[in-house]
Amino acid sequence: MSEIIQKDKQYVWHPFTQMQTASDAIEIIKAKDAVLFAADRKEYIDCNSSWWVNVHGHGNEHIANAISEQFKKIDHVIFAGFTHAKAVELAERIVHILPEPLQKVFFTDNGSTAVEVALKMVVQYWHNLDEPKRRILALDGAYHGDTFGAMAVGQRGYFNAPFEPFFFDVDFLDFPTAENEQEQLAYAEKLFQTNEFAAVIVEPLIQGSSGMRTYSSSFLDSLVNLAKKHKVLVIFDEVMTAWGRTGKLFAMNHCTVIPDIVCLSKGLTGGVLPLGLTVATNEIYNAFLSVDKSKALLHGHSFTGNALSCAAACASLDIFEKDSTWKNIKRIEDVNLAYQASIQNHNAVYETRVLGTILAIELETGEGNTYFSDIRDKAYNFFLEQGLLIRPLGNVIFINPPYCISNEQLASIYKAFDSFLLNIQKEKAI
Ligand SMILES: Cc1ncc(COP(=O)(O)O)c(C=O)c1O
Question: Tens digit of pLDDT for each residue in 149-166?
Answer: 999 999 999 899 999 999
50: Cβ below 6 Å to ligand 1? no
The domain spans of the chain are 3-59+323-429, 62-320
Average of per-residue pLDDT values in the chain = 97
Q: What is the pTM of this model?
A: 0.97
Burial class, 271, CB count within 10 angstroms (exposed 0-12 / middle 13-18 / buried 19+): buried
Strand order, beta sheet including 197-202: 102-108, 276-281, 261-264, 233-237, 197-202, 135-139, 170-173
What is 62-320's CATH topology? Aspartate Aminotransferase; domain 2 (3.40.640)
Where do the DSSP E strands lie in 33-101?
35-38, 43-46
Residue with CA at minimum distance from ligand 1 atom 4 = 144
**Residue 50 confidence (pLDDT):** 98
Residue 266 CA: nearest ligand 1 atom is 10
Q: Region 6-22: what's the mean pLDDT?
A: 97
Q: Specify the DSSP element, H or E, that contains 108.
A: strand 102-108
Over the stretch 327-371, which tens digit does the pLDDT of each residue have? 999 999 999 999 999 999 999 999 999 999 999 999 998 766 565
User: How large is the greatest C-alpha to C-alpha distance in the chain, in angstroms?
Assistant: 74
| Closest ligand 1 atom to Cα of 241 | 1
Does the pLDDT of residue 430 top 90, yes or no?
Answer: no
- The CB of 265 under 6 Å from ligand 1? The reply is yes
Ligand 1 binding pocket includes 237 (Cβ within 6 Å): yes
Query: Cα of 265 to ligand 1 centre, how many Å?
Result: 8
Does residue 127 register a pLDDT over 70? yes
Going by DSSP bridges, is the β-strand pair 28-32/35-38 parallel, antiparallel, or unpaired? antiparallel
Strands 35-38 and 43-46: antiparallel
Q: Dump pLDDT digits (tens) for 282-301.
A: 999 999 999 999 999 999 99
Between CA 138 and CA 146, with CA 142 as vertex, the angle to 5 degrees is 110
> Is the separation of the CB atoms in 376 and 392 below 8 Å?
yes
Mutate to test the pocket of ligand 1, among 49, 110, 112, 262 (most ligand atoms within 8 A of CB): 112
Q: What is the edge-to-edge ordering of all strands in the sheet holding 35-38? A: 28-32, 35-38, 43-46, 388-389
Q: How far apart are CA 303 and CA 71, in angstroms?
A: 15
Q: Percentage of the chain surpassing pLDDT 70?
A: 98
Question: How far apart are alpha carbons 327 and 323 in whole angstroms?
Answer: 6
On whether the CB atoms of residues 409 and 45 are closer than 8 A, the answer is yes
Question: Would you say residue 84 has pLDDT above 70?
Answer: yes
The residue whose CB lies within 8 Å of the most ligand 1 atoms, and thus the one to mutate among 116, 143, 153, is 143
| pLDDT value of position 370 | 60
- Architecture (CATH level 2) of domain 3-59+323-429: Alpha-Beta Complex (3.90)
The pLDDT value given to residue 363: 96
User: Smallest Cα–Cα separation from 44: which of 385, 392, 394?
Assistant: 385
pLDDT at 365: 82
Whether the per-residue pLDDT at 403 is higher than 70: the answer is: yes
The pLDDT-based confidence of 372 (bands split at 50, 70, 90) is low
54 CB within 6 A, ligand 1: no
pLDDT in tens, 230-267: 999 999 999 999 999 999 999 999 999 999 999 999 99
Model confidence pLDDT, tens digit, residues 170-222: 999 999 999 999 999 999 999 999 999 999 999 999 999 999 999 999 999 99
pLDDT at 371: 56
- 132 pLDDT higher than 90: no
d(CA 164, CA 185): 27
Question: If phi over 0 gives left and psi between -120 and 50 gives alpha, with beta otherwise, what is residue 90?
Answer: alpha
